């Protein structure tokens, strides 16, 4: 549904912090599904961990928050004048390591929208295995 160039028009993030490669489906008031292709060239693998590279859990959470931000920005007027912020994470769980070559599929379900604030339930999968999940609070601010 959205390729990387369209995502860059929505999110302010850029390399190395842009962690969404494609949006597969988007119903901003219901659910957003996106992917991140995890390559061996990711900058964090050189130190996390040498000889046993795994994607840091905090970056998996950030990727899910970016997906939530894409959805939330689609619910406000003048989204090009706004920026999404990550406010809170609850009940985060990391179930399996994410390694180079994996494709991270993130599914973000909107639990509550109130003005410029949204609460979501976010899940990340590799293939069909749940690797991380949590509840995130994000909000939209003027640039």
Cα distances (angstroms) measured from residue 107 to each of 34, 36, 81, 101, 125: 7, 12, 26, 19, 8
* H or E, element range at 61: helix 57-73
CA 64, 99, 25, 135 torsion-angle sign: negative
13, 43, 48, 52: the catalytic one is: 48
Measure the CA–CA gap between 11 and 39, rounded to whole angstroms: 21
Please indicate whether residue 13 is annotated as part of the active site. no
Give the catalytic positions in this structure.
Answer: 48
């Amino acid at each position: 549904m959205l390729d990387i160039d369209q995502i860059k028009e929505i999110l302010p993030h850029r390399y190395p912090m842009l962690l969404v490669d494609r949006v597969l489906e988007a119903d901003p008031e219901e659910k957003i599904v996106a992917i991140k292709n995890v390559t061996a060239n990711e900058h964090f693998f050189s130190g996390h961990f040498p000889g046993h590279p795994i994607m840091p859990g905090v970056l998996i959470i950030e990727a899910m928050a970016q997906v939530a931000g894409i959805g939330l920005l689609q619910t406000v007027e003048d989204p090009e004048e706004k920026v999404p912020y990550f406010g809170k994470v609850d009940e985060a769980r990391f179930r399996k390591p994410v390694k180079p070559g994996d494709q991270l599929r993130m599914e973000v379900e909107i639990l509550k929208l109130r003005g410029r604030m949204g609460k979501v339930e976010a899940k990340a999968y590799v293939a069909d295995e749940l690797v991380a999940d949590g509840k995130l609070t994000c909000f939209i601010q003027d640039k």
